[in-house]
Amino acid sequence: MTNEPHPRRRVEPEPADRTGVDWEEMAAWWDERQGNEGDLWHRTLIDPTLFSVLGTVKGQHVLDLACGNGYIARKLARSGARVTGVDASTPIVERARAREEREPMGIVYRVADAAHLDGLGDDSFDVVVCNMALMDVPDAEGALREATRVLRPGGRLVASLSHPCFDVSVSSSGWVVERMGFETTVFRKVRRYRRVFEHWIPWRGEAGQEWWTPAYHRPLSWYFRALRGAGFVVSAFEEPEPTEEFMAEDPQGAWIEQIPLQCVIEAYKFKP
């Protein structure tokens, strides 16, 4: 659920200034922001590549892991999938259920930690989708193991996440804009890439509210080792490119056209 260079985010504070985990407190704002189609960053930058990799899901049983307000789950259901959504935040799941009640699509929502999918059977899903969430999960290795467990043999995981190479944290990566004469050049600076560490993501609502949520930087090699260790083989790796709509509406479009801030991974569960 993070895409670091966001207009409502500011520089990471010192540890003494951090106020805690606020996913539950920001549930109403997040639900309104994502709506039924996702915000600009999700709808016009990340999701086109996610769904391109995902392909046809009609008739398949899909788990939307860390589903948030369920907008991806609803897109999957409209595509003909049978969908279960899981998220650790009770308030955001309640909002997803409320949307399901207003517009029934047959989606089942559960409250569960991504690393402890109690109540979901072994080999019960064709696809697990995890949209912009693995970097927010404390036990991502456990979440990948659980994804393997609930997938049938040969089933797929399709996950988008902040690009570990270029979106390290708000204090360890950022844009550098140099203007010399009539030329403007943009670079992406990165530090602490090889380290595994927790950091905090600041969010700011339209009314000036502020929330802080934890995230976990892990190098790209960490994810590939974790996927292999969980019983997956990686079959695709894509880096979303900005669409025309994103380029027109977000000033960072031209920069992200050069340097990706998200990636999408497809991996298959080993067949026994």
* pLDDT by 10-residue block (mean), the chain, 272 residues: 37 44 82 94 98 98 97 98 97 96 97 96 98 97 98 97 97 93 92 96 85 94 98 98 97 96 97 68
Residue 41's CB is within 10 A of a number of other CB atoms, namely 23
Residue 72 near residue 43 (C-beta atoms within 8 A): no
Confidence (pLDDT) at 272: 64
Cβ neighbours of residue 193 closer than 8 Å, sequence gap 6 or more: 164, 165, 168, 172, 219
Confidence (pLDDT) at 21: 60
Q: What is the pTM of this model?
A: 0.90
Cβ neighbours of residue 236 closer than 8 Å, sequence gap 6 or more: 53, 264, 265, 266
